[in-house]
Structure 1
Amino acid sequence: MELEPEKNGKPPVEFENEALVQAIAQSIVDRVNLFAPSADSPSEVLQQNCYPRHRRLIRVRVAIGVFTAIGLLYSIFNTFHQVFPHSHLVELALFPSLLSLFLGLALVVLLILEIFIGAGMDIEVEVKKANKVYKEYQFIPSFSKLPYLLLFLGLSFFAILLGFASFNSELYRSDPSNFDGFQEGFIAIYFSIVTFSTVGYGDIHPVSYLARTAAICEIFIAMFFNLIALSMTLSWVMAYEQSQHAVSIKNRIQKLHQQTAKSELERDRASKS
């Protein structure tokens, strides 16, 4: 076996089994040609199979989303008008508001799990090309579209925000001394937004320990939500851009192979004529 000429002072490389190297190289070339459609060898889809991943988690998230929407509607109405005006138990009046904001928080947690564990659909496509059959695999995440993700994030955001507004309104109805400068309705929503954004103008402030505890919980949930919402959105955008780049590169390779096959076909026809 002849050795390669010495380059840059490095000794020539000698292969012990040239036949094995040639076989590997030919296998790679055949594999590339197999996945690259040419002008005279169209591909045919023989079979397509779909395998869902973490279907139960997706169903639970959808169910929690429905209950969160119901809790959101309750919080909006209860903030302006008391839903249970004849309730003598403060705990019973506060429970629906707490349930609404906890559903919003649970929805955020489910969104995080669904994205990071890879919930979605595995698609297996069996393709026949040039008398050869091969399989292609593709994964479609459950949140394949950004507006769909933003819809659930917005639903959880308003459920938490208005859940605290409804909760504070119930505290004020049970005992007006829990707050200073507070009113139910629009003022309650305003105070919830100010607290959630951690601005704190000071025109309204909690007085009792229970009201202050609720404000502290809202601030911590707001910091958690803002961090998670930003990271989830950025992660989705980065993953989407990478997938688009991969599709673009694949299309370029296919076009290049099609142009090469077409030029070779025209060259053969010219030589025969």
Structure 2
Amino acid sequence: MTVSATLNAGSARGALRLKQAGALRGWSRPLDIAAVLLLGLLLVAVIAPGILSPYGPVQAHAGPALEGPSLSHPFGTDYLGRDLYTRVVHGTALTLSTAGLAVLIGLLVGLLLGSLAGYFGGWADAVISRLVDVLLAVPGLLLAMVIVVSLGFGAVNAAVAVGLSSVAGFTRLVRSEVLTVKNLLFVEASGHVGSSSRRTLFRHVLPNSYKSVLALVPLEFGGAILAISTLSFLGFGAVPPQPEWGLLVAEGRQYITSSPWLSLVPGFVITAVVLSVARLSTIAERVRGV
């Protein structure tokens, strides 16, 4: 190896180290750390909520009714004396699991439709593209409300409705990525050596199209939390006494003037979680770009 080549390789390694150090310094921003810590607490709340909460989620008379935030009840109590902090903690699993189910439905259906439209083209692309246009013409929340009314009320049906309303976004992105990848030389070469269309799609096209789709998942997850909480707030989702976050906001609106914490605290939790998920998406993008 020549001296110039050695110097170039050393410079490249040095630049990579500087880039990695910059990414790590960027990751250590206070907001990034706060987002990761909050999501870690949510994971604990999903797996073992009893560790974080001293009461049961439907335990009445855990304290005086409509008591304000205190050391014994950090988020106060509701009209039945139930500890609001405990209900928020136990509602984490229900809210996040339904949001995760919604994103999974949207991802799988969008992956299927987008792959068919982008790879095969023709009438498949025309039909699927027109379907996507129709779905995009209807506001997502309105579409979810129509679907959940057709399926019936409940947390699972709300998740299915939100998932189906997010199919259009995933389908459009997958189709765009597949159209880009299928024209690359290595994909054309696989067809020339006798690889079937299905094998080429699943072996070469999709594995090289998923990165942008995965980057969309955290953003859709945050949107699903908002949509499912909204449906529960409007009475289309979880039913009492389930401690779903949107339902907690709805239960507290009758006491918004005398006991505002009943609605404000769950609303703040929803906002903080959605912002933390979005922040985690930007962290992942920075790390992946290194």
Q: TM over 0.5, yes or no?
A: no
Q: Which structure's residues are more often strand, by fraction?
A: 1
Tell me the TM-score normalized by structure 1. 0.30
Tell me the TM-score normalized by structure 2. 0.29
